[in-house]
Amino acid sequence: MVSVTANTNTKKDVHLANQPRSNRPFASLYWQRQAEGQSKFHIGLFVSILLLTALASMVLFIPLMYNYNMLAFYTINNKDVPCGNSCRIEIVETIPEGLVYNETLNHLDTFNLWKNLIWNANSSIDIASFYWTMRENETYAHPSSKKGEEIYQALLNAGLRRNITIRIAQNEPTTFQKNPDTEYLAQIKAAEVRSLNFTKLVGAGVLHTKFWIIDKKHVYIGSANMDWRALTHVKELGVAIHDCPCIAADLGKVFDVYWALGESNEVPSKWPEKYSTRYNANNPLNVSFSDKTNLVYISSAPPSFSPKGRTHDIDALLRTIINAKQFIYISVMDYFPLNLYTHRYKFWPIIDNEIRRAVIERGVNVKILISHWRSTRPMIFKFMNSLRSLDRVNGKVRVETKKFKVLSTPDQDKIPFARVNHNKYMVTDNGVFIGTSNWSADYFTDTAGVSFVMTTNSTLDNTLREQLVEVFNRDWNSSYAQNIY
């Protein structure tokens, strides 16, 4: 795992607050919150007129809306991509070597998932990635790097000997991250590789995405980079979705965006229709996992990479918070209400405000688990303490914060950029948000990432949401999680 380095580019800042209104996010909750408090009279008048219009037309349009939604559940750009009842979903984790819990949760290991996905692939493997350090003893000589080497050799074999089409979209290599792994795969024609230059595309940021698509029907989205340490020494969490062509097809549209940008190095003023999606926060996919119906969609960042219909990552995150009624559990490596990777910090409280609003106005309990490792910025604890100051402000409503530290032996401590909880997810009483981004402004405004978002009304055990609650509680109650003071 490698941290995003500070951007020293002098081009214009692309913070959302500085964008003209014509460039602002589609149906953006961000701008909805920014507009609150302005012209209450006009807003009230508009809402009244809108309600009257809606009531007058409801009888005419509800049947049409119903039929459209049923079609949208199974159609992408007029091509049928059925999901049916075949979709399976599961949590995927990397538990770092030496990390031992008092309780055992049997989730699929990242290494085994990736290995199985490669060996079971029949036609295609698409990988969107930040950087690659998979080879044995690459970056640092250590026996545990063998798992990365095994995955790399499996990909090489798939591309050369099994005639599997492999496409890799990655952040453009730098002096610090040269990506010889993908350079070699491309050189021997085991894979086609395209690199995205964010300086040219956006003016700042990186391709921070981490997802796989296999045979246009199997998907992995999560925190794990293409790095042997992500299989052995970094705590990772993601989601695997099997036999689900509708989700794979929609995520494939995000990959297609990266693939196009890797060739043109220019963001179009308007994305062609073929990149658009019908599935978003307002019209999610209706997918059955284990005979339980869930509403699902894929969100993405930055806004300029999101064609028509795609919900932006920040909007998806805010909606998950807003929809929570009882609790919000957040596990993320970094949490900063700031632009971190600019010459000067800029205050960006949009997520922070929504959490506070949930506590004060709706009485929602909040727990936040951040990471504590050698690269932690000390000011993160001040922001955690600021949130924790709301604990019991609203009666018995709790706001609690902890830091998770992955302990190391002297040998493990020598491994660079390792031994950290790299998770990036949120789970509530009715929703799941599993992403690839840390929580600071930069990751939503000029850095590429995706999230798997799910809403469910199921209160039964063995759902993805319940399993994610169990994962959070396991970490929260472990000896590795300590209170922040």
Rounded to whole angstroms, how far apart are CA atoms 147 and 407?
Answer: 21
The residue annotated as part of the active site, out of 109, 256, 391, 429, is: 429
Angle, vertex CA 293, rays to CA 290 and CA 294, nearest 5: 105
Query: What residues have CB less than 8 Å from 201, skipping those under 6 apart?
Result: 261, 265, 266, 267, 304
Any catalytic annotation for residue 215? yes
Please report where in the chains the tokens 């998950």 appear, as a residue.
320
- Choose the catalytic residue: 208, 235, 367, 403: 208
Q: Of 107, 218, 312, 424, which residue is the catalytic one?
A: 424
The secondary structure of residue 368, as a DSSP letter, is E
Catalytic-labelled residue, pool 235, 422, 442, 446: 422
- Is 146 assigned a catalytic role? no
Q: Which residues contact 262 (CB under 8 A, 6 or more apart)?
A: 169, 194, 195, 196
Selection from 155, 328, 99, 369 nearest residue 109 by Cα:
99
Q: Number of H helices and number of E strands within the chain?
A: 12, 24
Q: Does the annotation count 242 as an active-site position?
A: no
Where do the DSSP E strands lie in 333-419? 338-339, 346-347, 365-371, 399-404
Name the active-site residue from 215, 243, 256, 391.
215
Cα separation, 384 vs 352, whole angstroms: 10
Cα 416-417-420 angle, rounded to 5 deg: 125
424 an active-site residue? yes
Surface-to-core class of residue 66, CB atoms within 10 Å of its CB (0-12 exposed, 13-18 middle, 19+ buried): exposed
Of these residues, 210, 218, 253, 372, which one is catalytic?
A: 210
3-state secondary structure of 191: coil
- How far, in Å, CA of 233 to CA of 222, rounded? 16
Is 107 marked active-site?
no
Peptide bond into 302 cis (omega under 30): yes
Token digits of residue 163: 């005639």
Q: Is 312 a catalytic residue?
A: no
By DSSP bridging, strand 420-421 and strand 399-404 are unpaired
- Would you please indicate which residues are annotated as catalytic (active-site) residues? 208, 210, 215, 422, 424, 429
